[in-house]
Amino acid sequence: MKYVVGRDFAFPEYLPRYPREYGFDVLYMWLDISIDVRSGVVEGAVRYRVRAKKDGVPVVLDAVEMEVRGASHDYYYDGEKIEIRPSWKKGDEIEVQISYRAKPRAGMYFIKPDKTRRGVYVWTQGETEYNRYWVPLPDSPNIKFPWRVAVTVPKPYVAGSNGVLVEVREGGDRNTYVWEMRHPMSPYLLAIAIGEYEVHKEDCGGVVLEYYIPKYIDDRWRFSFYNTCKIMKFFSEYLGVPYPYERYAQVVVPEFIYGGMENTTFTILTDWTIHDKHAHCPYTGFPCPEHEDFSSDPLVAHEMAHMWFGDLVTAKDWAHIAINESFATFIEALWTEASKGWDEYLYEIYTNFKTYLGEYTRRYSRPIVTNLYKIPDEVFDRHAYEKGSVVLHMLRSLLGEESFRKGLKLFLERHRYKAVDMEDLRKAFEEASGRDLEWFWKQFWYSAGHPVVKVSWSYSDGALKLQLRQAQGEDSYPVYTLPLEVKIVYEDGRKEVREILLNEKEVTLYVQGGKPRYICVDPHFKLMKSLDLGYPLESAVAMLEDEDMYCRLQAVEVLKKNGSPKAVDALAKALGDKFWGVAAEAARALGEIGTGAAVAKLVESYRVVSHPIVRRAIVEALGSAKRKEAAEFLDRVLHDAGESYYVRSEAARSLGRVKWEFAEYSLKKALEYPSHVDVIKRGALEGLAELGTDDALKIVLRHAEPDMPTPVRATAVQSLAKFGPRKEVVDAVRMYMRDENFRVRFAAVTAALELLEPRLLPDLQERAEQDIDGRVRRVAREVAEKIKKFMERGTEYQKLREEVEKLREEYRKLADRVARLER
């Protein structure tokens, strides 16, 4: 069977990419630079000790848009690469040096003061291939070397970097900080951060933990990082490899373009992760973390997991980024299991799968491991992160805990400080488990898509007939090997679990044992798959009482599709489920049903539900109901200062969707409420955009302007699409595609996706070709292609979309009438 390449990911001109080959080894790097924090200039010299792999080979370093002031040997520079040409032979070791000056457009960022912070902050972001904008280096993950970095900055700025601090040299009004990374690392992990920092320290079993906190942030930082040492100790124990470095610093920076970046020993994090007590645990009288609303633990755990997977052992090229990102996402979930329990872990894996399905459905299907890409940033997507984490969970389930952990330890120890690929990983797990895993790698790592299993059952003449059929599309592997478990619960209370190897298109199983009450496929969610369940209503209602959380989630899906008054009653009861994840899914299901009875149940349950995420799901669900009583309730939630920031934000968004007559007045008032990362204000802007009025447009446009905080600007720009292709909207989206701020440019490109406006094609094509950030280039290209297809479909497509909306509304009205008649 051939590998399945998927759909819509690779454009026609894409060619396979392979790891770069170097004719030399780098033994050590010395970097000595001075940073002008005000003018955004870096200058200095970099020196390498290198060894030739063959005679006469040039030393080629990536160096983009620099002024090269000199080199120790003959060289050639074309604006992107420096080629140094020493006279040497295989095995010779020499030193080469380049002096240079750069005003980087990427890789190193200079953040100016604003209303909330004084002083300039400077930070770097090397992944994927951006360090080449501020230092000449061999910018590829498959080459590793140790380094020493000396950074000179004006007082009172602090300059941090990887490794250990070996010296601080004072020189008048400037200080030079000298950092040493003693272990070989890939160049993209080199990092620097500069600013007015307070550095807090603690000891964690002999490892120094540091927290670089900007002076504009108060003691709130402790809510974000209080579990750092516990996370480090858990990972060290679970992986069987102690934390492999002398120090671990977490560095908070403003305007970071990611959530975090795992620079070895020196993780840089967005200041958006800093939150107050109310964001963390909004309700008095309830314990945390059982009722926490916002936590930095997932971000802290994800970036720390990279210290092993990504830093200690590194993907040798971006095609194999699963070694970095799939593992970090999966290990992040392991911390959830360790700190909160099995159901929390399994629900995180389940929601990871749903997140991947969103990208699969709306964008493309690709193998997790693929070398068919153009921009390295393209493979950092929901396939590499969330889908990969589910595949690792599946591997854990298949091999068992002991063999799985043995494989992790073997892989990390065997390839310590090396660059590897997914075949190295397979061999480690095969050796640890004694099992052949080529089939697993081929189906789940190297092929696109996922299994879709249609399930139905019936009972007659004393026998249960269970039918399982693989129904995935052509963008997925044709027939997967799925060792399924099926739990049968009988009317008399007996339970049994049958193991079925589903390795053909369809399997029918007959079971003599009595009448089933319900059947649950894969009760512990061991396998990655979508289920299409043809279950009787009564069995789904009964399955809501099952002890396994994933069985209850299956019941919610069946009841949502049924939508009858009895299904509504059952889902309303599930709002009180012992696990908040099931309750939240039940709330969303009631919202999709959207009848008057469903709305009433949601409002009624809100008064007794305590978990903020469930309350958030309830107010989100109410936004689907175009009802006055829903709007009045949402209005009360929005203006309740004792409520969670995130619940109120969702209430604002939903209030706009309901289109209540007083919504605009209510949402304008909500724009003034303070909250974590302005989430209430952002929800109000999205709600106003849903209303689509002229006044709402003026407000949204005002909040997109440069004097607003970045999260607010990005939300406002993305919300513009809700107003349709008016001239002022198109003009604004066009302008913001060229904004200096990455998040604003990205928001403008995604707004263009919703607008599908042909007038934006030239602007999107320009972004696809010229934007400095690979993520913007990729999405701009994707949106441009979708607009072209949309133009080909013409008005028929628009009419079809309008008809679907009409049908949905008619269904809601019909369901309401049926419910009233039945009651």
pLDDT tens per residue across span 445-488:
999 999 999 999 999 988 999 999 999 999 999 999 999 999 99
For position 809, what pLDDT does the model report? 56
Question: Within this chain, do residues 384 and 237 fall inside the same structural domain, yes or no?
Answer: no
Q: How far apart are CA 538 and CA 421, in angstroms?
A: 49
Q: Which of 95, 94, 85, 89 is nearest to 60 (CA)?
A: 85
Q: What is the mean pLDDT of residues 202-219?
A: 97
**What pLDDT does residue 743 have?**
97
Percent of the chain with pLDDT over 70: 96
Residues 285 and 396 in one domain: no
Q: Give the pLDDT of residue 629.
A: 87
What's the predicted TM-score (pTM) here? 0.95
Q: How far apart are CA 823 and CA 820, in angstroms?
A: 5
Shared domain check, 118 and 177: yes
Domain that holds residue 125: 25-195
Residue 140 and residue 206 in one domain: no
Taking the C-alpha atoms of residue 272 and residue 266, their distance in angstroms, rounded to an integer, is: 18
Cα–Cα distance measured from residue 454 to residue 465, given in angstroms and rounded to the nearest whole number: 14
Last residue of a domain, one of 257, 283, 313: 313
How does residue 134 score in pLDDT terms, banded at 50, 70 and 90? very high
Please tell me the distance from the alpha carbon of residue 472 to that of residue 479, in angstroms, as a whole number: 8
Instruction: Count Cβ neighbours within 10 Å for each residue of 542-566 and write b for 16 or more, e otherwise.
Output: bbbebebbbbbbbbbbbbbbbbbbe
Q: Verify that 31 and 164 share a domain, yes or no.
A: yes
Q: Which amino acid is present at 636?
A: R
Q: Are residues 105 and 209 in the same domain?
A: no
Residue 624: inside a domain: no
* Cα 319 to Cα 341: distance, rounded to the nearest angstrom: 33
Query: CB pairs under 8 A, 24+ apart, for 679-684?
Result: 679/645, 679/646, 679/648, 679/649, 680/638, 680/645, 680/648, 680/649, 680/652, 681/712, 682/649, 682/711, 682/712, 682/715, 683/648, 683/649, 683/650, 683/651, 683/652, 683/653, 684/649, 684/652
Tokens of 10: 């690779």
The residue ranges of DSSP E strands in 301-442, in sequence order, are: 313-315, 418-420
Q: Over 80: is that where the pLDDT of 806 sits?
A: no
- Over residues 239-258, the pLDDT tens digits come to 999 999 999 999 999 999 99
Give the whole-angstrom CA distance, residue 320 versus residue 310: 11
Give the model's confidence band at 287: pLDDT under 50 very low, under 70 low, under 90 confident, else very high.
confident
What secondary structure does DSSP assign to 532-570, as a single string?
A: EEE--HHHHHHHTT-SSHHHHHHHHHHHHHH--HHHHHH
- The angle that helices 795-822 and 565-574 make with each other, rounded to 10 degrees, is 90
What is the distance between the alpha carbons of residues 221 and 377, in angstroms, rounded to a whole number? 30
User: Average pLDDT for residues 792-802, to the nearest whole number?
Assistant: 63
Same domain, 37 and 151: yes
Q: Which of 177, 195, 213 is the last residue of a domain?
A: 195
Of the candidates 269, 212, 244, 20, which has an alpha carbon nearest to the alpha carbon of residue 132? 20
Q: What is the mean pLDDT of residues 134-147?
A: 98
User: For residue 166, what pLDDT band results from cuts at 50, 70 and 90?
Assistant: very high
Buried-exposed string 662-681: b where 16+ CB fall within 10 A, e elsewhere: ebbebbeebbebebbbbbbb
**Same domain, residue pair 40 and 174:** yes
What pLDDT score does 820 carry?
A: 45
My answer on whether 508 and 478 are in the same domain is yes
User: Which CATH number belongs to the domain containing residue 298 in this structure?
Assistant: 1.10.390.10
Kindly state the average pLDDT of the residues 567-595.
Answer: 96
Residue 747 lies in a domain: no
The CATH number that applies at residue 63 is 2.60.40.1730
Rounded-to-integer distance, Cα 661 and Cα 540, Å: 39
Can you read off the two tokens belonging to residue 471? 């129904």
Between CA 463 and CA 767 the distance in angstroms is: 62
Cis upstream peptide for 289 (omega within 30°): yes
Say how far apart CA 438 and CA 427 lie, in whole Å.
Answer: 9
Whether 821 has a pLDDT exceeding 50, the answer reads: no
Task: Say yes or no: 432 and 493 in one domain.
Answer: no
Beta bridge partners of 209: 202, 248
Q: How far is it, in rounded angstroms, from Cα 145 to Cα 22?
A: 13
Angle at 528 between CA 530 and CA 337, to 5 degrees: 120
Query: 171-177: which pairs have CB atoms within 8 A and are 24 or more residues apart?
Result: 174/34, 176/150, 176/151, 176/152, 177/150, 177/151, 177/152, 177/153
pLDDT of residue 793: 80
User: pLDDT tens for residues 754-795?
Assistant: 999 999 999 999 999 999 999 999 999 999 999 999 888 875
Half-sphere exposure of 581 (CA within 13 A, CB side): 19
In the numeric block, the tokens 């963008």 are attached to 475
> Residue 696's pLDDT band (boundaries 50, 70, 90)?
very high
Calpha distance 161→535 (Å, rounded): 57
Q: Tell me, what's the pLDDT at 812?
A: 53
Q: Torsion angle, CA of 772/268/351/420, rounded to 10 degrees?
A: 80
Is 745 contained in some domain? no
| Cβ-Cβ contacts under 8 Å for 808 (sequence gap 6 or more) | none
Distance CA 602, CA 616 (A): 11
The token pair at 806 is: 């009409």
Helix residue ranges per DSSP H, 255-387: 277-280, 297-305, 325-340, 342-362
Q: Are both 525 and 541 inside the same structural domain? A: yes
In a domain, 523, yes or no: yes
Which of 514, 547, 580 lies at the terminal end of a domain, its last residue? 547
Average pLDDT over residues 120-142: 98
Which CATH number goes with the domain that contains 510? Answer: 2.60.40.1840
Report whether the peptide linkage leading into residue 214 is cis, meaning its omega lies within 30 degrees of zero.
no
Judge whether 81 lies within some domain: yes
In which residue are the tokens 């930095």 written?
Answer: 296
Task: Kindly give, in sequence order, each residue whose CB lies less than 8 Å from that of residue 32, ignoring residues fewer than 6 positions away.
Answer: 44, 45, 46, 149, 150
Is residue 619 over pLDDT 90? yes
Long-range contacts of 735-738 (CB under 8 A, 24+ apart): 736/704, 737/763, 737/764, 737/766, 737/767, 737/780
- For residue 419, tell me if it sits in a domain: yes
Q: Which helix (H) or strand (E) holds 95?
A: strand 93-102
The answer to whether the CB of 220 falls within 8 A of the CB of 276 is: yes
Query: For residue 118, is it within any domain?
Result: yes
pLDDT score of 457: 94
276 near 292, Cβ under 8 Å?
Answer: no
- Whether the predicted pLDDT of 627 surpasses 90: no
The reply to whether 76 and 102 lie within a common domain is yes
708-728 per-position pLDDT tens digit:
999 999 999 999 999 999 999
Q: What is the pLDDT of residues 37-71, one digit of tens each?
A: 999 999 999 999 999 999 999 999 999 999 999 99
Is residue 1 scored above 50 in pLDDT? yes
CA 488 to chain centroid, in Å, comes to 36
Q: What is the DSSP letter of 234?
A: H
Yes or no: say if 256 and 270 are a contact pair by the CB < 8 Å rule. Answer: yes
Residue 127 above 70 pLDDT?
Answer: yes
Compute the average pLDDT of residues 289-301: 90
CA distance 165 to 411: 30
- Terminal Cα-to-Cα distance of the chain (whole angstroms): 55
pLDDT number for residue 822: 40
Does the pLDDT of residue 681 top 80, yes or no? yes
Query: CA 744 to CA 750: how far, in whole Å?
Result: 10
Predicted local distance difference test score (pLDDT) of residue 201: 97
Q: How many domains does the chain have?
A: 4
Give the DSSP letter string of 9-46: SS-TT--B------SEEEEEEEEEEEEETTTTEEEEEE
pLDDT average, residue stretch 560-578: 96
What is the separation of C-alpha 762 from the centre of its chain, rounded to a whole number of angstroms?
29
Residue 823 confidence (pLDDT):
40
Buried b (16+ CB within 10 A) or exposed e, 274-290: bbbebbbbbbeeeeeee
On whether residue 640 sits in a domain, the answer given is no
* pLDDT for residue 819 is more than 80: no
